[in-house]
Chains A and B, each alone.
Chain A
Amino acid sequence: MGVMRIGHASLKVMDIDAAVDHYETVIGMKTTHRGKDGSAFLKCWDEWDKYSVVLTPSDRAGLNHIAYKVERDSDLDVLEKRIRDWGLGVEPVPADGLQFCGRSLKMTLPSGHQMYLYAQKELVGKDVGTTNPDPWPDDIRGAGAHWLDHCLLMAEVNPAKGVNRVAETTKFLMETMDFHLSEQIMGGLGNSVQLASWLFRTTTPHDIAFAPAPVAGLHHIAFFLDDWSSVKHAADVMAKKKVRIDVAPTRHGITRGETTYFFDPSGNRNETFAGLGYLAQPDMPVITWTEEELGRGIFYHTGQLNEAFLKVYT
């Protein structure tokens, strides 16, 4: 019962045609619906629900909302009560409030991000079908990403003001939705301050993560690839298409992921990554990285932070 996985991310984009082209030809998604307002709904070939990314025309970049799918409709009643009892406002939204979805719950996380929970979304099916399927479809484009895997959100941390939205949101997700903590960065005096967190509901190291910033925002949304060779191929696709790459292929210490970071045409950061790292389980002891080893946690090979990596976001 409860939250299964990330369902979709809705992003603001400044040039909808350029954005659709990016998510189709670089990430390898397909458009499943275009809204009257110009918005675009897209899915990856290995996903079965109608969309995992929504792009909406805007005068700025950034996140509209994230949505996570729960297993059963009745879970929404249980979670609504838990969220309310925790002390956070939660708004029931009728079916189709989230397009192509059943009823949902809408809330603003302590981090300031808007989050939805829903139990049902229109089923489209994987591109390879379900009867004697091939391992991949013939019309793969770009990186050919399998699925939207997770997101990293920036939340305000300012110890001088006594503000730590990373820790607060982590606690909220663990106490109300049974998210489990896989890894964290601890810093400050005696490494007592939780500066970043990686949380899961699936069996992978993270379904959502939080990192510290002066103001809330979107750090990245991440798409899953098969292996290291696919990570390199995806980076080749980006170089050919002159996509702005932020971090060329490397490996994280945290989550052990093999990764490339880059920006969509509005500056929203994307990640293509491979390596599910390890089997994440509710009883797995939490992995802690200390602030002084932050560089190695993030970029395992060099151990050096790319300055823009934690400071540039939408």
Chain B
Amino acid sequence: MSTAPCRTVRIAQTGEEYACRATETVLIALARIGRKAIPVGCLSGGCGVCRVAVRRGRWHKSGPMSRAHVSEEDEAQGIALACRIVPDEDLEVEVIGKLQRAAPTSG
């Protein structure tokens, strides 16, 4: 088990809180416990479904985020992909991304 300190991540819309180790991303920590406040996609910075706006707290990037989903302007405003956010302190994030319907419904 990791002995890394735990941070608390708060989802702005719902007030839901969960623990995230200081060595993992906020999306991995969420997916690991099977909760779904943020959509889980490729977990690799490429697909963009886990877009969030960090409202409070410092963090650092665990790897590259696709510019197709997070522009430089977005990044300057605190928008990022949850699968690449490693918390340096407690965070509050607003969920922006969603799983969009790929196929139109019939009828």
Contacts and interface: CB of A to CB of B under 8 A. Distances in A.
A265 B62 CA distance: 12
A308 B63 contact: no
Contacts of A14: 45-46, 63-66
B103 interface: yes
Contacts, number: 105
A60 interface: yes
B76 interface: no
Contact of A268 (B46, B67, B69): B46
A187 B103 contact: yes
A267 B106 contact: no
Interface string A279-314: 000000000000100000000000000011011111
Interface in A38-66: 59-62
B99 A266 contact: no
B66 A308 contact: no
- Report, as a range, how many residues of chain B touch the other chain: 20 to 34
A154 interface: yes
Contact of A311 (B43, B67, B100): B100
B67 A59 contact: yes
Interface in B11-36: none
B103 A267 contact: no
A211 interface: yes
14 contacts: A18-B63, A59-B64, A61-B42, A61-B44, A61-B47, A62-B68, A188-B106, A244-B43, A263-B44, A265-B44, A267-B42, A268-B46, A312-B47, A314-B47
Interface of B: 39-47, 49, 63-69, 99-104, 106-107
Given A15-B64, A311-B99, 9 more contacts: A14-B64, A61-B44, A62-B66, A193-B106, A214-B101, A308-B40, A310-B102, A310-B103, A311-B100
